Amino acid sequence: MSTDRISKLLEFLKSEPNDPFVLYALATEYNSKQDTEKALAYYLQLTRDHADYVGTYYHLGKLYEKSGRTEEALSTYQTGMEQARKKRDMHALSELQGAYNSASGFDDDDDY
């Protein structure tokens, strides 16, 4: 099933090579299949070519965390928070802040 979705998304990508939604969907599909290398490539393409596609940063950060790359995850969350502020996307900002805090070792019960 997932391979069928990837095939369809790759076809969409041929006709719309710069569509951020298709790139994001491909990254998400590869991530769900545990194909970290391909997922990472698509997420990084999104951050490079579509920096304002805010949803990318949360998932890229989580992928970095899962790979033990905490510093890169923290940097990714910070960049995502900057982009969310620019877009005034408070929901994304809140999610990214929570992910950043968690990756930093803070949790909601900690005193700051």
The structural domain count of the chain equals: 1
Is the model more confident about 49 or about 111? Answer: 49
| Inside any domain, residue 22 | yes
| Inside any domain, residue 110 | no
- 83: buried, middle or exposed (CB in 10 Å: 19+, 13-18, 0-12)? buried
Under a CB-based contact definition with an 8 Å cutoff, are residues 47 and 36 in contact? no
Give CB contacts under 8 A, 24+ apart, made by 70-76.
70/103, 73/99, 73/103, 74/100, 74/103, 74/104, 76/47
Q: Which residue range is the domain that position 80 belongs to?
A: 2-104
| Inside any domain, residue 70 | yes
Under a CB-based contact definition with an 8 Å cutoff, are residues 36 and 42 in contact? no
Q: Which helix (H) or strand (E) holds 84?
A: helix 70-87
Instruction: Tell me the three-class secondary structure of 5-39, residue by residue.
Output: HHHHHHHHHHHCCCCHHHHHHHHHHHHHCCCHHHH
Mean pLDDT calculated for residue range 45-59: 97
| Inside any domain, residue 87 | yes
| Inside any domain, residue 111 | no
**Which CATH number covers residue 25?**
1.25.40.10
| Inside any domain, residue 14 | yes
| Inside any domain, residue 52 | yes
pTM of the model: 0.88
| pLDDT tens digits, one per residue of 1-47 | 467 999 999 999 999 998 999 999 999 999 999 999 999 999 999 99
| Inside any domain, residue 112 | no
